[in-house]
Amino acid sequence: MRFGRKEKLSLRYVGPYEILQCVGKVAYELALPVELASVNPIFHVSMLKKCLRDVTLILPLEGLGVDEDLSYVEVPVKILDIQFKRLRNKEIVTVNVLCRIHLVEGATWEGDADMRSRYPHIFSS
């Protein structure tokens, strides 16, 4: 169910909210916040969306160095691979960089010259 303005890019769902009890076969009572006190807390099952939480994707904020505006600086840790691409007249070197917060699957390809100028310490080993 949509709440608030009915525009093209408005949110389709709000929540997630806890299910308090099952009311009948296809209706559920939800624990809604105070802002939605004017809304009836009993919803038909077709108006609800299942919320799956993957606990492996939740990272603790303590050791990440997250700022007040929820941003952080990615610090490269290791070079995983080097790739040489030949264009017509020049050769472009890119490196696969593993950052401190990401997994190996999240490593990105960056330009070699840019990485050497910004982070020379990761090329020394």
What is the fold of 76-122? OB fold (Dihydrolipoamide Acetyltransferase, E2P) (2.40.50)
Distance CA 13, CA 40 (A): 15
Distance CA 16, CA 3 (A): 14
pLDDT tens per residue across span 64-115: 666 667 677 777 888 888 999 898 888 989 999 888 777 777 788 888 888 8
Distance CA 86, CA 97 (A): 20
Question: What is the pLDDT, as a whole number, of residue 39?
Answer: 85
Q: Would you say 17 and 3 are in contact if contact means Cβ atoms under 8 Å apart?
A: no
Q: Is the pLDDT of residue 44 over 80?
A: yes
Please calculate the CA angle 101-107-113 and round it to the nearest 5 degrees. 110
- Going from N- to C-terminal start, the domains of the chain cover 1-55, 76-122
Please calculate the CA angle 48-52-54 and round it to the nearest 5 degrees. 165
Task: Please tell me the pTM assigned to this model.
Answer: 0.43
Mean residue pLDDT across the chain? 80
